[in-house]
């Protein structure tokens, strides 16, 4: 069959002889392939690629030997330029579905390989084997990773030693997970296991942490609150020149390069002329990725649901003398979104919700009508859904920047800037543009 386009999951879309849509991974537009149907999926059928009969000129040799098996990357076989264009098109299509005709989407900002400083790893004990890695492409089995092309070398270097250490840890009975963050002084590791670690387990993990230069190693059972096993150096990360001590397993942007692109796009999206104490509301603030950069432009009210992240943000603001510029508040925005009255007299709202988006918050946000809404998203689908609420309330799209933070995956990070028609649109770089009709 012929492959027409690449869908939102990174699979090639083709048509079977009976006219049924077929989703074939590891293919490219224009290729002729043989594929075996597997199971119904989303109005079509998922298939397994058997062979490529006629390859695209855009096909390249994947840099990772586990590509095609590991589910972390799905597009290493595509040339960079069309791959980045495809990510921009995913964002553009989502904004069109939201009601913004012909949205102006900037070129995708690339990030380099070997730059991921945060990764969620799956752990699985299978008889005498212990697997540390990611789930199989379109499957649930854990693929044991010997190396990783996207992971920062410091974190990639932990894969084999962690596997060796966990083989002797009785607390990992069948399966678990690990969150690896690369902080300023070294790796910070949170293990989630299906049993409580014994004294021997804790001693073994502490020895592993010392040998591998970890700043901290922590443990939690399932979704419980983490507890440190060993803190060997100060577990800190720097945001906009301010040192923050994040909790174990804290959310960080996936790469320093991606974070820098997000911060730049957010600051460029703010109104060009803000009074020194302009009120900026930040939703889903984490432990301050954007907060300190925003505090240079106004007074920030930062809302976050995770208690550890709020505590870290408060402590960092106090330590940096920014308590008059940043007020951190704990709030579960899915269960208790801000009311429209709480968003009155706001110069800008900046939100960076999880992948599920901010559906519960959008109606009140649109009703409050702040002049500027800047939405940081890691999923064009939920961004488009939430942006549709703003479009219905009369907002125009001023800027949209895709960022390839999740290299070679189908995920797209983006920053979208929405303005009221009565306010000047903002060009990248923070310059005011003449007012335009809503697109």
pLDDT at residue 390 above 60?
A: yes
> Which distant-in-sequence residues (6+ apart) come within 8 Å of 388 by Cβ?
97, 98, 99
Mean pLDDT (whole number) for 311-328? 97
Strand 216-221 vs strand 227-231: parallel, antiparallel, or unpaired? antiparallel
pLDDT at residue 433 above 60?
A: no
Which pLDDT score is estimated for 407? 98
Mean pLDDT (whole number) for 206-216? 99
Position 356 confidence tier, pLDDT thresholds 50, 70, 90: very high
pLDDT at residue 427 above 60?
A: no
Count CB neighbours of 4 within 10 A.
14
Which pLDDT score is estimated for 119? 97
Name the pTM for this structure: 0.93
Question: Residues with catalytic annotation?
Answer: 378
Position 422 confidence tier, pLDDT thresholds 50, 70, 90: low
% of residues, the chain, pLDDT over 90: 92
pLDDT at residue 161 above 80?
A: yes
Which pLDDT score is estimated for 431? 27
Position 105 confidence tier, pLDDT thresholds 50, 70, 90: very high
DSSP label of 11 = P
- Residue 84 CA to residue 132 CA, distance in Å, equals 30
Domains of the chain, each with CATH number or no CATH: 3-59 (2.40.50.140), 85-112+249-433 (3.40.50.150), 118-238 (2.40.50.1070)
Position 435 confidence tier, pLDDT thresholds 50, 70, 90: very low
282: left (phi over 0), alpha (psi -120 to 50) or beta: beta
Which pLDDT score is estimated for 293? 98
- Residue 436 CA to residue 104 CA, distance in Å, equals 13
Position 131 confidence tier, pLDDT thresholds 50, 70, 90: very high
Count CB neighbours of 297 within 10 A.
20
Mean pLDDT (whole number) for 156-171? 97
> Which distant-in-sequence residues (6+ apart) come within 8 Å of 204 by Cβ?
165, 168, 169
Strand partners of residue 216: 188, 231
pLDDT at residue 333 above 80?
A: yes
Tens of pLDDT, residues 265-314:
999 999 998 998 999 999 999 999 999 999 999 999 999 999 999 999 99
Residues in the chain: 439
Which pLDDT score is estimated for 94? 98
Mean pLDDT (whole number) for 16-29? 95
Burial of 363 from C-beta contacts in 10 A (0-12 / 13-18 / 19+): middle
Mean pLDDT (whole number) for 73-77? 98
Mean pLDDT (whole number) for 132-146? 95
Strand partners of residue 304: 330
- Residue 177 CA to residue 162 CA, distance in Å, equals 12
Distance of CA 372 to the CA centre of its chain: 23
Comparing 222-231, 255-264, 345-354, the range with the smallest average pLDDT is: 222-231
Mean pLDDT (whole number) for 84-98? 98
């Amino acid at each position: 069959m012929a492959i027409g386009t690449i869908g939102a999951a990174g699979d090639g879309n083709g048509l079977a002889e009976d006219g049924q849509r077929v989703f074939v991974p590891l293919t490219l537009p224009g290729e002729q392939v043989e594929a075996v149907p597997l199971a119904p999926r989303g109005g079509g059928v998922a298939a397994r690629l058997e062979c490529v009969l006629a390859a695209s000129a855009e096909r390249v040799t994947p840099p990772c030997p586990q590509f095609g098996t590991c589910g972390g990357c799905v597009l290493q076989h595509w040339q960079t330029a069309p791959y980045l264009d495809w990510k921009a098109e995913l964002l553009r299509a989502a904004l069109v579905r939201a009601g913004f005709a012909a949205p102006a989407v900037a070129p995708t900002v690339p990030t380099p390989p070997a730059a991921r400083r945060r990764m969620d790893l799956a752990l699985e004990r299978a008889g005498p084997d212990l697997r540390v890695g990611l789930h199989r492409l379109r499957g649930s089995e854990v693929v044991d990773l010997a190396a990783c092309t996207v992971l920062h070398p410091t974190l990639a270097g932990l894969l084999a030693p962690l596997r060796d250490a966990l083989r002797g840890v009785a607390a990992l009975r069948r399966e678990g997970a690990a969150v690896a963050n690369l902080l300023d002084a070294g790796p910070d590791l949170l293990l989630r296991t299906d049993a409580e670690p014994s004294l021997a387990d804790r001693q073994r993990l502490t020895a592993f942490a010392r040998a591998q230069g970890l700043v901290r190693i922590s443990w939690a059972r399932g979704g419980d609150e983490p507890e440190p096993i060993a803190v060997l150096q100060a577990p800190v990360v720097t945001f906009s020149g301010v040192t923050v001590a994040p909790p174990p397993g804290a959310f960080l942007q996936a790469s320093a390069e991606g974070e820098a692109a997000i911060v730049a796009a957010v600051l460029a999206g703010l109104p060009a002329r803000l009074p020194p104490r302009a009120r900026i509301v930040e939703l889903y603030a984490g432990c301050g990725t954007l907060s300190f950069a925003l505090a240079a432009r106004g007074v920030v009210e930062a809302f976050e649901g995770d208690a550890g992240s709020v505590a870290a943000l408060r402590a960092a603001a106090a330590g940096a003398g920014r308590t008059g510029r940043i007020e951190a508040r704990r709030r579960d925005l899915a269960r208790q979104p801000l009311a429209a009255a709480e968003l009155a007299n706001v110069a800008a709202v900046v939100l960076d919700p999880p992948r599920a988006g901010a559906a519960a918050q959008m109606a009140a946000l649109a009703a409050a009508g702040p002049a500027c809404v800047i939405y940081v998203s890691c999923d064009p689908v939920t961004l488009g859904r939430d942006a549709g609420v703003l479009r219905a309330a009369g907002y125009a799209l001023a800027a949209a920047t895709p960022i390839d933070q999740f290299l070679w995956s189908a995920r797209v990070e983006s920053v979208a800037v929405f303005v009221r028609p009565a306010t000047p649109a903002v060009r990248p770089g923070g310059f005011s543009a003449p007012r335009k009709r809503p697109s």
